[in-house]
Amino acid sequence: MTETAPKGLPGAFMLGSHRVTTPVMLSPMAGVTNWPFRVLCEGYGPDGLYVAEMITARALTARNPKALRLCRFAPSESFRSLQLYGVDPHILEQAARIVVDNHMADHIDLNFGCPVPKVTRRGGGSALPWKLDLFREILRHVIRVCRPAGIPVTAKIRVGIDDSHTTFLDAGRIAEDEGCAMVTLHARTTAEYYGGHSDWNRISELVQALDIPVFGNGDIWTAEDALEMARTTGCAGVAIGRGCQGRPWLFADIKNAFAGSPERVNPTLGQVGQVILRHAGLLVEFYDGDERMAVHDLRKHAAWYLKGFPVGGSTRKAFMECETLDDVRRTVDSLDPDIPFPEAIADKPRGRVRYAKKVHLPYGWLESRDLSPEQRRDLFESDPLDDVY
């Protein structure tokens, strides 16, 4: 806490030697938090943390071009946060070594929260902390590469696999013990996936259990939600995922809220159109001038930007059919600029909202908290995410 934070609200904190003035994080989101989106978010709320989407350690060690593109940062990103995913401590160590030796980032977050079946089925993401030895081993290997370089390592975790198999308290204690600079808790289990409401009591429990900063994550749709999470859990900061999809200005709202200001950004449709155009332009840079790829990437964002605005199906369809920047410009020009921001939907969930149909785990995974030699062999043989790149 700093002297400047209003009572009961989190203030600046140190992540390694870096001072994070506003304790808010853009939570890593695959397919979303590439540098164009991060730059937009950071423009509204400078001095928080803006984390790149997860990169698989194997893809990085293979110098996969798509993975390397995701590791790029914009010149304006003065503090660069990468997230790595993997199950093999040695591969993760190699990936961290690449990041360190090539000065690719200033902070590494490790993904232990992914609930996607093809990840958990291989013991990765949110399934991994169940195996206490493997979890510890991964942190130890990565931290021993990063610490001498002054790169803080953080862990992003879930509550556990399901209500009967929680992992967050053990994982948090191990993370602290091994030297993690911070832990982010997405307060859902794997089984809950993105359904229902996250259980913020779990965040309070972790805050009580640890000395290192705990960031709370789950269901922050407005600055008021961020205030409520901070006040009720005592978390050191908040991480925002789906709430900022199509609303990068949420970071301005949260920055204002944490500074005690009631000021909020409620852009008109005309202003949102300008953000869409800026986003499109940045994506063209990201894709090295390939307008088609940029505009295809923009499609999902366009749908999020327009959410709640009374624009017809034909306009939404027009965005989905854009192939060039000129198409985007024409479609933005067709918007009525005076339509006010649809405040009524601002606090409603957006993006993924469903429960898992079933939790997929490696055979016999829950039988023991340690990795058997067979599981170790099976797990490290191949990585399911190799084929995503």
Ligand X SMILES: Cc1cc2nc3c(=O)[nH]c(=O)nc-3n(C[C@H](O)[C@H](O)[C@H](O)COP(=O)(O)O)c2cc1C
Q: Which residue positions form the known binding site for FMN?
A: 28-30, 83, 156, 186, 241-242
Catalytic-residue membership of 114 = yes
Q: Is 83 in the site for ligand X (CB under 6 A)?
A: yes
CA atoms within a 13 Å half-sphere pointing along the CA-CB vector of 195:
12
Phi-psi region at 153: left, alpha or beta (left = phi > 0; alpha = psi -120 to 50): beta
Q: Is 170 in the site for ligand X (CB under 6 A)?
A: no
How deeply is 304 buried, as exposed, middle or buried, from its count of CB atoms within 10 A (0-12, 13-18, 19+)?
middle
- Cβ distance to ligand X smaller for residue 32 or 146: 32
Supply the DSSP symbol for 73. Answer: -
Q: Is 253 in the site for ligand X (CB under 6 A)?
A: no
Q: Which of 28, 36, 45, 123 binds ligand X (CB under 6 A)?
A: 28
- Span of 15-23, 72-80, 216-224, 279-287 interacting with ligand X by CB under 6 A: 216-224
- Separation CA 232–CA 209 (nearest Å): 16
- Cβ distance to ligand X smaller for residue 329 or 360: 360
- Cβ distance to ligand X smaller for residue 186 or 301: 186
Whole-number Cα distances in Å, 29 to 37, 165, 212, 301, 344: 10, 25, 24, 13, 25
- Span of 106-114, 140-148, 270-278, 327-335 interacting with ligand X by CB under 6 A: 106-114
- Cβ distance to ligand X smaller for residue 160 or 273: 160
Catalytic, out of 41, 71, 114, 146 = 114
Q: Which of 342, 339, 302, 341 is nearest to 318 (CA)?
A: 302
* Angle, CA of 99, 78 and 245, to the nearest 5°: 90
Closest residue (Cβ) to ligand X?
Answer: 241
Partners of 112 in beta bridges: 157
Catalytic residues: 114
Q: Which residues of this chain interact with ligand X, rule CB under 6 A?
A: 27-32, 53-54, 83, 111, 113-114, 156, 186, 217-220, 240-243, 351-352
